Amino acid sequence: MALRPVLQALPAGSCSLLHTSVKGPCPSPPLPAASGAAPARVTARLTVTGRDENSVELSLGDSGHKLILTGKPFRMDLLQGRELVLSVNPRGLLHFEHLRHRKDSFSDKVSSSVGSLWDKIKKLQRYHDPLIPGPTSVGLDFSLPGFEHVYGIPEHADNLRLRTTEGGDPYRLYNLDVFQYELYNPMALYGSVPLLLAHNTQRTLGIFWLNAAETWVDISSNTAGKTLFGKMLDYMQGGGETPQTDVRWMSESGIIDVFLLLGPAPTDVFRQYTALTGTQALPPLFAVAYHQSRWNYNDEEDVAAVDDGFDTHDIPCDVIWLDIEHADGKRYFTWDPNKFPQPRNMLGRLAAKRRKMVSIVDPHIKVDSGYRVHNEIRSRGFYVKTKDGSDYEGWCWPGSSGYPDFTNPEMRAWWASMFSYDQYEGSMENLYIWNDMNEPSVFNGPEVTMYKDALHQGGWEHRDLHNLYGFYVQMATAQGLEQRSGGLERPFVLSRAFFAGSQRYGAVWTGDNAAEWDHMKISIPMCLSLALTGISFCGADVGGFFKNPDAELLVRWYQVGAYQPFYRTHAHLDTVRREPWLFGEENKALIRAAIRQRYALLPYWYTTFYHSYRSGQPVMRPLWVEYPDDITTFSIDDQFLIGNALLVHPVTEQGAHGVQVYLPGKGQVWYDVHSHQKHHAPQTLYVPVTLSSIPVYQRGGSIVPRKERVRRSSDCMYHDPYTLYVALSPQGTAEGELFIDDGHTYNFESKAQYLHRHFSFASNTLTARSADSKGIFESPAWIERVVILGAGKPAAVFLRQPGMAETRLDFQHEPETSVLTLRKPGVNIGADWSISLR
């Protein structure tokens, strides 16, 4: 066994993460590398500062951290100064099983230390696993003194704050096609990110358990079950334990490869984690807008009718989706010759309206000697194999199906080539891709997935890399969309399965939810958990995939979705049609209003995605990320922030007449974005609501760019003018940013073709300047309005531009709300200027 602590020095400052790896004779399966955007990692200096016969003390660079390594029993203790931050193996649960020859009975093969655990797992799985190479499980425990709140390890339909698992099943990470999943359950769902975050008022930590095999996470706490009153009573009586959370990780195979992310701030942990796995890819602008989908739009005429319906009813939409029925007998990369005989004409009609289409391409391939895709994969030997070396076959939508081995780089390269316009016949530049069923889903397999003893390239069993399969499917698909444009265009790929690093290749969604109020409500913590683990581009099927929503639920879900990063409605084949105009004029108007709010905020959404791409910060984030010392925020998951400027509390209760909104930030103010009313923080505010209400607040001290001329698609709005919403802090200051590029290519990286603008308000002057002088980009868009919240009435307002005479601007002031509106500054969005209130 080799233990190697490595201190990684990342940009932003002090010592940031500790990497330990425990290896037996079994090497690790192929795992994804970080993206090219990740900063270089260098090993910091480790200095021995003390030792005895059984332990050694190391100083970790200049960070103030010390590491105490103890030999017998093995233990690692990480300290900052005299404070114990984290302990590794404090309960002595380190376990790794080496490869050995097969024995005759399962009980002989499983060591007593983990036999009961794996016996339990086998009972849960309800199928025979031959375990030909013998068991190779690994496990390790961690203690987090001072921490009561832990988060992450998606995907689970559960609260944001992870619960203790004492007395119940541990959280499971094992990608599965789950039909109508249960809520508030540690059961495995479609994706897995083995990253856990711990947070208290002093610091944030992360534990990244890099293992793609089936993994279980046990969480215990010495404060579990204690009420807030009980904790306070302990404190008042001078007793009580220091809060502590203990976490045990267990994986069926592989090695122990752990990164300890030391923070100390939440932003530091995000930066450290995404330095390892990559940041969220900057999506094309259209992908951040509204998507219309169902299983399935019937034919080309149906697509045209839905497309026209958005225009007839004056509702913006960027993308129409096609599910599995569009293909010829569910043979992917084809079109049904009767229902979709002229796909290029269909795509051309959408392109003429500046809209896109997404078609589904799943990773199960129909076994059919007349199907070119199947024949090529088989002839090249690219299918996953059975243990006897034949092609693995399972049952999925097309019937008998083969499963390409996406862990094979040659297979991924071939798959990527299939998206070229000459290979994917009928495709065009405005066709993008959806990878579903990529857990992988196998209808007749154990737990509706692949047998664990199926073999991948290099002899790896499927058990070793199961959670990576969907990651590699999305990777190969995204690379194919890039390659078809010669590397110029940014791809859009939606994936149901995911792993650490999937954020580099597109978006994910929360899978097959139901048209129920609790499913809509749970989508918020599910997306927040994904965002905390690097995957910012996430959303839930608006309206619910299964069952039929009533009008109230559908309206509320459109309102929730308008403030989640990925905004798509989708529904099961057997549900009633639910295009936005099918529920009466009043409900149509409410849905239209919600979608229009999304479109008006696209400049802010896109800028926030750009920051996520650059720095790894989540787009949609829990309140505690921005207010890390406010204990009230630690368990809140029915409201959230978009970036650092907008606080959203969607209405998720049936028949609600009001919601309780917590406004954080001592000495701060928040403005209702609809009424512009100012509220002082911190406070819990009771907000009366009607069916039209979406409680959203802009933080005082922020500037949010908007486009208020909403058109049929984001592309139609591209050159339209901007409105700046300036929300003043109690000190009379504010700042914000705007990122603009062409919205679809990599030219912002390869040719520095972008504008990154910075706006600031101080001393009664609003100033615009470049936030990044490297970016050069021309846009005809201009500033048509500035709205200043919390402003007094000036005597006059003047615009100044370099080299030009000062000009006077018209304005309107509303004394009841202290809103000052400056009309038509008329300055180009890329110009430097200042506006003075006198």
List, by residue number, the catalytic residues: 436, 512
The DSSP bridge partners found for residue 768 are: 759, 833
- According to DSSP, residue 324 is labeled G
349: tokens are 């009609």
- Of the candidates 515, 523, 526, 521, the one whose C-alpha atom is nearest the C-alpha of residue 570 is 515
Element holding 414 (H helix, E strand)? helix 409-417
For residues 753 and 638, the answer to whether their CB atoms sit within 8 Å is no
Beta strands in 52-161 (DSSP E): 55-60, 65-70, 75-80, 83-88, 95-96, 138-145, 149-152
Distance set, CA 775 to CA 372, 589, 606, 707, 755 (Å): 46, 40, 16, 22, 5
3-state secondary structure of 603: helix
Query: How far is the C-alpha of 742 from the C-alpha of 195, rounded, in Å?
Result: 34
Query: How far is the C-alpha of 162 from the C-alpha of 525, rounded, in Å?
Result: 11
Cis status, amide bond into 618, omega within 30 of 0: no
For residues 807 and 798, the answer to whether their CB atoms sit within 8 Å is yes
Say which amino acid occupies 359: S
Q: How many CA atoms, within 13 angstroms, populate the side-chain half-sphere of residue 680? A: 4
Reduced 3-state DSSP string for 604-635: HHHHHHHHHHHHCCCCEECHHHHCCCCHHHHH
Q: Where are the alpha helices (DSSP H) in 177-245?
A: 228-236
Distance set, CA 112 to CA 118, 248, 686 (Å): 10, 18, 56
Distance set, CA 574 to CA 274, 296, 359, 509, 570 (Å): 40, 10, 20, 20, 12
Backbone angles phi, psi at 585, to 5 degrees: -60, -40
3-state secondary structure of 729: coil
Say which amino acid occupies 521: K
Backbone angles phi, psi at 349, to 5 degrees: -65, -40
CA dihedral 294, 298, 300, 303 (to 10 degrees): -30
Query: How far is the C-alpha of 402 from the C-alpha of 425, rounded, in Å?
Result: 22
For residues 759 and 735, the answer to whether their CB atoms sit within 8 Å is yes
**Cβ contacts of residue 703 below 8 Å, gap of 6+?**
645, 724, 725, 726, 727, 734, 735, 736, 737, 759, 760, 761
The DSSP bridge partners found for residue 706 are: 723
**Cβ contacts of residue 52 below 8 Å, gap of 6+?**
none
Query: How far is the C-alpha of 151 from the C-alpha of 195, rounded, in Å?
Result: 9
Backbone angles phi, psi at 670, to 5 degrees: -130, 145
Query: How far is the C-alpha of 294 from the C-alpha of 320, rounded, in Å?
Result: 9
DSSP 255-322: -EEEEEE--SSHHHHHHHHHHHH-PPP---GGGGSEEE--TT--SHHHHHHHHHHHHHTT----EEEE
Query: How far is the C-alpha of 713 from the C-alpha of 708, rounded, in Å?
Result: 13
- Of the candidates 88, 142, 113, 96, the one whose C-alpha atom is nearest the C-alpha of residue 1 is 96
